[in-house]
Copies of this chain bind each other. A is one copy, B any other.
């Protein structure tokens, strides 16, 4: 078995590779980071909007292409990228070698279009590293045990990068993208958003709505499991980026990391459930059976014999869930059903938030000052989430940010 030290995995997304010029500039960047005692492994996505182009092409033939054939088609996108980037690296004197999914031996299960990585046989890549090659690996794609091509679904290339970093026992995994890090709010919608310099895996997972634009939660989960430090960086400008790392045992260093808004939410509430029956479980189970994930679940405290159950799901499932709830309501005629799509879920994230009750106080005061009604509220070790009327969401986020991230605090603690 070959043991290689000082491996660094760098992942470049589609926007970083959208043109020949950008591919060449990525190659230059890699060359600049190159040194004899560092072993660089690159993971790439398909060029720019190539994946969407391929999807549009196949959809013009069939709205429901066979998942296996879709993978056959889509996997060509990353294969093009690895070849072009490798040629660009060679052209500036860097010894490099590309690896398609069936060569990098990213072994997955056989769930086409949404496969899960089972293991990576790194022998070929380790051999190439030993021979002095920069390895350029196709992200997003894998191979089943019988040689079928699979793709990993959303966040696939991030997942390949982190899984490969874990398999190679890499020092770090750098995710290069078109933004320069994770922000305290969505920087596209809120000009006062600040970049976060350091954040823990769990905080990042809670901030997944902010984070998903730069790294997929799946990838963060794997990084956390194998303790691979992640850096989110811009591939266009040279800045520090955001480091995602494991928790340190210094709870006193508490800071709020970010504020997220989710407008893609439908709210269901069933009232007058009798305490004596196991009805919550029955209802939730019916929803789960349809492979629909439930987000906030709130069962309020009640001194009476009845209670209310509320939960949210992604808007796209609302008609399916409505049908489930209506049937449930019919079978249990004593209950009352209420649902609405007009809400936003606002969350404030920071490790140890519940050890600092002043945060919840400030949170509630902030919304009260603007007469914003809270429909539903949940808290956890590192998050406060509430549902409010969607019309007030922008105002709420801005004022929460102003209150919870005073400029001085940010400079001191982030």
Contacts and interface: CB of A to CB of B under 8 A. Distances in A.
A251 interface: no
B73 A84 contact: yes
B72 A98 contact: yes
A83 B98 contact: no
A88 interface: yes
B100 A87 contact: no
6 contacts: A62-B87, A65-B83, A72-B98, A73-B79, A76-B79, A76-B83
Given A57-B84, A68-B97, 12 more contacts: A23-B61, A54-B80, A61-B84, A69-B83, A69-B86, A69-B98, A72-B82, A73-B87, A76-B76, A76-B83, A79-B79, A103-B148
A190 B205 CA distance: 71
Given A23-B61, A61-B24, A149-B100, A66 B90 contact: yes
B69 A90 contact: yes
A83 B73 contact: yes
A309 interface: no
Interface string A48-71: 000000100110111001101110
Nearest to A90: B66
A20, A61, A76, A100 — which one has the most chain B CB atoms within 10 A of its CB?
Answer: A61
A84 B74 CA distance: 11
A31 to B, nearest CB: 14
A69 B57 contact: no
A147 interface: yes
Nearest to A77: B76
A91 interface: yes
Q: Which 8 A-B pairs have the closest CB atoms?
A: A73-B83, A76-B76, A72-B83, A62-B91, A65-B87, A69-B83, A69-B86, A76-B79
A234 B80 CA distance: 31
A54, A57, A72 — which one has the most chain B CB atoms within 10 A of its CB?
Answer: A72
Interface in A106-164: 124, 147-149
Interface of A: 20, 23-24, 54, 57-58, 60-62, 65-66, 68-70, 72-73, 75-76, 79-80, 82-84, 86-88, 90-91, 97-98, 100, 102-103, 124, 147-149
A84 to B, nearest CB: 6
Contacts of A20: 57, 60-61
A45 to B, nearest CB: 15
Nearest to A70: B83
A97 B147 CA distance: 14
Contacts of A76: 76, 79-80, 83
Nearest to A98: B72
A50 B24 CA distance: 22
B65 A73 contact: no
A57, A68, A84 — which one has the most chain B CB atoms within 10 A of its CB?
Answer: A84
A91 B124 CA distance: 39
A147 B103 contact: yes
A147 B123 CA distance: 13
Contacts of A23: 61
A149 to B, nearest CB: 7
A148 B84 CA distance: 17
A23 B62 CA distance: 12
A230 B267 CA distance: 65
A62 B90 contact: yes
A307 to B, nearest CB: 50
A100 B82 CA distance: 18
Nearest to A102: B102
Contacts of A149: 100, 103
Nearest to A147: B103
